[in-house]
Structure 1
């Protein structure tokens, strides 16, 4: 038996004592992670994803990560990410949406800096982290009196434990290749709704189409055209979840004049039609 005393003067991770708020909590089983949530970002929240089992590949910011069970994925606000799992590996995850996160030295709703890895291995802290997430999900699911306050404190504990994990510095080398890739990606992210072609991108950036494709696929795993499609479909998924816009309107917003082509492409990438996707999302969040 051991007795330990707490240092009451220890400094908080949270700026000005402002603690984070839990916005949503999901326990996503295998059958749902098989439906990809393609390129998207969150402007006013950040997300923490914990992989309970399985493996996959995720594009977060400007880096592609191979992830496996026990890993923690950090999606800072305003950072693009793409979730494409290995369907043979039966991935299941916990996911927390968080607002009002203010960590000393970081932008609002950022848990790690852009120079650090967006994927952490939970290592010896796996059991603690998974248990906290399990209790949080149970509290939200049951919705008993006071569950909001319970989750509020559990979330602060979760983030504090994650911040105890040594973080790898993964800053990109500022060589010419990395600088050029950043320029290409920024250009596409800005104009992805417009009628972009490989030739038009290459011309505007004054590089060859071949080198553009080679470099972009090396960094992301996608060709520029595949990336544009996923960027558009990811935005369409967000609109289907968060608005009442019809499919034709959404197709036009993300850059497709032909709603039938949009529906075909959406079904190919996501595994179901836009209408079915909205229905399933509504049912799972009702």
Structure 2
């Protein structure tokens, strides 16, 4: 297959702004990692006019998708799991062109998975987990059981991704296969939800209790990225200060609900600051001292 695609990628490899080219082949008949294409051709470039260009091909009864991605966008995807498939492509794909060992070094960095990147990804997924869990709880109490069930599946998915990140791995598209190997207890929660013969309301009620414990036990580690930011200064933070901090931009939409959860768990303290209005106070936040 590489020989057939060589004329396509060789043209790109000859361009000075092309940093590397790799090929990722489909391993199963149905592959969400490749959007069911037989092969992915990933070309990384620098200073591209188009930050992400995609073209589809067909040859010898097979299909291929070529993705030309600007280096800055690729790094953003890696930091935030913005396009999860690309991690799998980079780790497991075959390098066919590599300018100054760019892709080789990137592969090694992904295997090492620097701590700061792990903390950021955990915070993104943990904040989404809190939102999905709270929305599930609200729907359950409103007796919208089918919608609550959908949110419970989603919250367990975020929990699975947090669990994988805790172990130092990048979450894959088939995240439950990873969880089954590395954290059987979390996998059992998913198994019980999907295979239980209990009525929907009873099943969700039990899952809410189990999930609450699983989330609570991960709160400090899941929110470590945010807590580290808040420890940067001794003074309390206003929400607006945290919201515009460059390091929180990847989970700013879920920042408010994450803060409230950490306040409830007494991980973060509130300080009230007087305003001009009578009995009205500004809320400021600080990490609770051990």
Query: So what's the TM-score if we normalise by structure 2?
Result: 0.24
Specify which structure has the bigger relative contact order, considering alpha-carbon pairs within 8 angstroms and separated by 6 or more residues: 1
Query: So what's the TM-score if we normalise by structure 1?
Result: 0.24
Structure whose alpha-carbon radius of gyration is higher: 2
